[in-house]
Amino acid sequence: MGAMLNAGEIRARLEDESLGFAGSLRGDALLLRLGAPLLALVDAPAEPVDLADQGSIDAAYREPLEAWEQFVLPPGCMVLVPAAEEVRLPMDISGLIGTLSHLARLGLTCHLGSALVMAGWQGHITFELFNAGPASLRLYRAMPIARLVLFPMSGKPQLGAGGPHASYGSPHQLSSRYADEFARALTQGPLG
Select from 131, 138, 42, 121 the least CA-distant residue to 83: 121
Give the residue numbers marked as catalytic: 128
Other CB atoms closer than 10 Å to residue 99's CB: what's the count?
20
Q: Which of 35, 14, 16 is nearest to 24 (CA)?
A: 14
Amino acid in position 120? G
Beta-bridge partner residues of 72: 138
Q: SS3 letters for 124-159?
A: CCEEEEEECCCCCEEEECCCEEEEEEEEECCCCCCC
Give the strand order in the sheet containing 20-21.
Answer: 20-21, 87-88, 122-123
Q: Do residues 77 and 130 lie in contact, with contact meaning Cβ atoms separated by under 8 Å?
A: yes
Residues 6+ apart with CB under 8 A from 166: none
